[in-house]
Amino acid sequence: MSHDWVKLDKTVRTRLAETTEADSPIPARIVSNGEYTPPPQSRQQAAVQVELGRLAEIFAPQLGLGRRDFLRSSLGMAAAFAALNSVFGSNYAVAQDEYADPDSAAERALLYRDQYIFDGHLHFVHDDYAWPGILGFRNAARAMGALAADARPPTFEDVKFGNFIKEVFFDSDTTAGIVTTATSDDPSKVFLSNAQISTDVDRFNAATGSQRLFKQCAFHPGAPGWRDQIEEAIAIHRPLSWKGYTIGDPLTPHSRHPWRLDDEDLVYPAFERFAQAGITTVCIHKGLVPGNYADVIPDLWRHAIVDDVGKAARDWQQLNFVIYHAALQPVVLFDPAFKQRFEETGRMNWVSDLADIPARFGVSNVYADVGTSFGQGAITEPRLAAALMAILVKGLGEDRVLWGSDSVWWGSPQWQIEAFRRIEVAEDLQERFSLPALGSGQGALKTRIFGENSAALYRLPDSQRTVAGFAGDGLAQAKAAYVEAGPERSNAVYGFVREMDGQ
């Protein structure tokens, strides 16, 4: 695999995020899985870290807790959002009692114990995976001297199935979700094949006695044998949905097989087969390319925008198209020009183009999955993160915005869940750009986005649309025992972060 994307930034020092910031219940800076170079920690994020430390020093002793125990509790999670508010303004609903009074924190947790959360964007690597894959970017960074000398070496155990289950199901409120993967021009480097997804999902569901995880199968137009792989998936694996990368291979700047959704000769025959098979949801990776994409992938980046979505959706109204990452350009929320344009126009690069599609093309079969994009914004520019969600709701509709976290790369998705429960669109943005309010964490809109929209899209049976429907399964029993014994949240994330000069 080429490591050109890392190579362009070889003077940048990075380190594994969990080695220095595992105490924080929210990431203290942007974390990358290797698909883009993370920016350095901003002054605001550093200020959040300082404020969170101050709150921990005040309230942990009052509660008879050590600093780490406090930060790994729901009290510490609440304190993190208070720290974000102190730096970025009041974007999150949080009261002091939530990080000062364990009873208040427990009462709040009870309010959400029955909230159904379906994560449409989950990752892990297979137990028998031999090639470094996602970890390869960190190994490449280490070899080029871009990793700090004292950084812990990457390990597969961080991102394998066992830790995935702990982080996603035991340490978060996630109820169910879809396991997804990425395509590669080299099949040996795919970190989770369609067959491996099928095997792991089946074994997990068999162990729990219910269907908590669902399968997604990748398709790679133009790659050798890609049509045969579709037939195998239909005949054997029976996925809930499909996954494609129009840029071809997301982990190399020289993919040999980029494609477009509206390619009538190459892709439309596959769409016809999807429709015939009754597997009618097509998830597409858009956005999330390197920040300097015009230089790094000059021949590929246009495949990451959404100018091919409208025609395909109009031509194939029997299919549903879910655009992963809501097509957001990566790490642009730091960019003053991006923020200025939004504040002047109410538009966000690529995201607003996606939100415009229903009105422009007269379609109602385009959805947005917010994996990584909401999470990035929640810790870098909460004001814009809330606006991003509102832009999608306004353009696509309340029932066509879907929850996704992109975990386990981000560690436990609980901080993202808490962020969305608490966040609200600033009143001035609601007024100036006619953006809808997101409402309370238990409100109708957030409830739809967290799970009801996915359940409806995938036509799940009633028994799989509520937390109560899973109350007696093996996972629920195991999690109850885990909580009773005293949960051990890691607060870890499993990508790499960029250091400031001189660190």
Phi, psi (rounded to 5 degrees) for 132? -60, -30
Bridge-based pairing of strands 401-402 and 118-122 is unpaired
Beta bridge partners of 380: none
pLDDT at site 329: 82
Q: Where in the sequence of the chain do the CATH 3.20.20.140 domains occur?
A: 118-131+155-469
Closest by Cα among 447, 422, 426 to 436: 426
pLDDT at site 405: 95
CA-to-CA separations, 80 to 74, 385, 410, 413, in angstroms, rounded: 10, 16, 16, 15
CA distance 128 to 120: 24
pLDDT at site 421: 98
CA distance 182 to 398: 28
121-160: buried (b, 16+ CB within 10 Å) or exposed (e) per residue? bbbbbbeebeebbbbbbbbbbbeeebbbeebeebebebbb
Tokens 């390869």 correspond to 136
Closest by Cα among 283, 321, 284 to 303: 284
Of 354 and 155, more confident: 354
Q: How many other CB atoms are found less than 10 A from the CB of residue 225? A: 10
- Specify whether the CB–CB gap between 474 and 481 falls below 8 A: no
* CATH number assigned to the domain covering 118-131+155-469: 3.20.20.140
CA angle 196, 199, 202 (to 5 degrees): 145
Confidence tier at 274 by pLDDT (50, 70, 90): very high
Closest by Cα among 40, 46, 31 to 11: 40
Min mean pLDDT across 55-64, 241-250, 322-331 is at 322-331
Mean pLDDT of 434-461: 98
Write the pLDDT tens digit of every residue in 275-290: 999 999 999 999 987 7
pLDDT at site 501: 40
359: tokens are: 């009105």
- Specify whether the CB–CB gap between 221 and 245 falls below 8 A: no
- Residue 361 in this model has a pLDDT that exceeds 90: yes
Mean pLDDT of 249-274: 92
CA distance 153 to 136: 11
Q: What is the mean pLDDT of the chain?
A: 86
pLDDT at site 139: 44
pLDDT at site 38: 67
pLDDT at site 33: 60
pLDDT at site 157: 76
Contacts of 10 (CB under 8 A, 6+ apart): 144, 145, 146
Tokens 């093996």 correspond to 474
Beta bridge partners of 16: 496
Min mean pLDDT across 237-241, 296-300, 302-306, 364-368 is at 296-300
Write the pLDDT tens digit of every residue in 217-261: 999 999 999 999 999 999 999 999 999 999 998 877 788 999 999
pLDDT at site 143: 39
192: tokens are: 């989770």
